[in-house]
Structure 1
């Protein structure tokens, strides 16, 4: 009888040991499977203190500067990210200087959409200015829009502000919703 109890105890102990080994190996395999299905998300390349120029027909058309650029051309939906902001200077056909500044920018390659965030300011050579917290630029259609708040000014005394605006890249066609205009001129 004592011998049977010892065998039972030994059998139960071995069974528990085998079960715990099985459970820990399953857990190990589960963690391994989780790691296998986790997407590694690393940029294909990284650059700091960048300055890129776009030149066409011997003329500088645009200059892009930024503290950091991350190139994710190695993913299914490639994009380029400027996590510390971007500053774009572009020149029109008459060599007039215009600027776009944002705290953060991301450019999606396949959709040709650029998303600008944080203190976005577009300044045109003729004094027109647009400010917003977020602005999208559709490169294919040369169209800009925001669903958020904006302030657009034609000079230092006259401005329009509101929520939601669409306009072409030359600021000649503007579609504004929920907006109002003000003039700060002294009478």
Structure 2
């Protein structure tokens, strides 16, 4: 009887140990996520001054008071709740300045969403004023379906939408509702 009790005890202990062994899941990503809410940013940067440099030349300078990093989400993005000031350069020459009250950069789609008093000014003095503006980094395309004012040369064009390549060589104001030609 004593031997049967020992075998049952060993059997029960083995069963518990095997159950515990297979029920434990050792995923590093789950451990890293512990204590981090998906609704909270995984990182915060303040007084941001980023420079993108290629072959020793500055291509872009991004200045922002605050950036929130939500790369812990399934659809990762960076948020600039206090706005951005972005200067773009080509071959060492400043080509454009973009200012916005708020911005979001979506990492997977390479789309930048600029909102609130958006101003895009080029080195040729073309200037776009908009409530919201999207920039597709992959296609180098700027667009919106919101009201805009576009200054080019002596013309000031108002409309509801804008579509253009990044260099404004194919700029088009959509649904034009007014053109004013300014005196020199």
Q: TM-score range by the shorter chain?
A: 0.7 to 0.9
Aligned twin of 1:177: 174
Q: Distance in 2 between matches of 1:109 and 1:94?
A: 26
C-alpha displacement at 1:44, in angstroms?
Answer: 1.1
Aligned length: 147
Q: Distance in 2 between matches of 1:97 and 1:164?
A: 23
Q: Distance in 2 between matches of 1:127 and 1:173?
A: 15
**1:96 aligns to what SS in structure 2?**
strand
Instruction: Identify the match of residue 144 of structure 2 among 146, 151, 158.
Output: 146
C-alpha displacement at 1:94, in angstroms?
Answer: 5.6
C-alpha displacement at 1:92, in angstroms?
Answer: 1.9
Task: After superposition, give the CA deviation of every residue in 1:134-179 in whole Å (9 maximum; x if it has no partner).
Answer: 0001111110101100011124x42111001110000001233211
Higher fraction of helix: 1
Aligned twin of 1:96: 94
Aligned twin of 2:80: 82
Q: Distance in 2 between matches of 1:58 and 1:92?
A: 12
Instruction: Identify the match of residue 167 of structure 1 among 159, 164, 167.
Output: 164
C-alpha displacement at 1:182, in angstroms?
Answer: 1.4
Aligned twin of 1:108: 106
Q: Distance in 2 between matches of 1:76 and 1:150?
A: 33
Q: Distance in 2 between matches of 1:124 and 1:175?
A: 15
Aligned twin of 1:73: 71
Aligned twin of 1:58: 56
**2:93 aligns to what SS in structure 1?**
coil
Q: Structure 1 stretches (4+) deviating beyond 6 angstroms?
A: none
Aligned twin of 1:33: none
CA RMSD, 1 decimal: 1.4
| Structure 2 gap ranges (5+) | 1-36
Alignment TM-score, normalising by the size of structure 1: 0.75
C-alpha displacement at 1:40, in angstroms?
Answer: 3.6
Task: After superposition, give the CA deviation of every residue in 1:10-53 in whole Å (9 maximum; x if it has no partner).
Answer: xxxxxxxxxxxxxxxxxxxxxxxxxxxxx641111101110000
Q: Distance in 1 between matches of 2:60 and 2:92?
A: 13
Alignment TM-score, normalising by the size of structure 2: 0.76
CA contact (8 A) 2:103 2:114 kept: yes
C-alpha displacement at 1:97, in angstroms?
Answer: 4.1
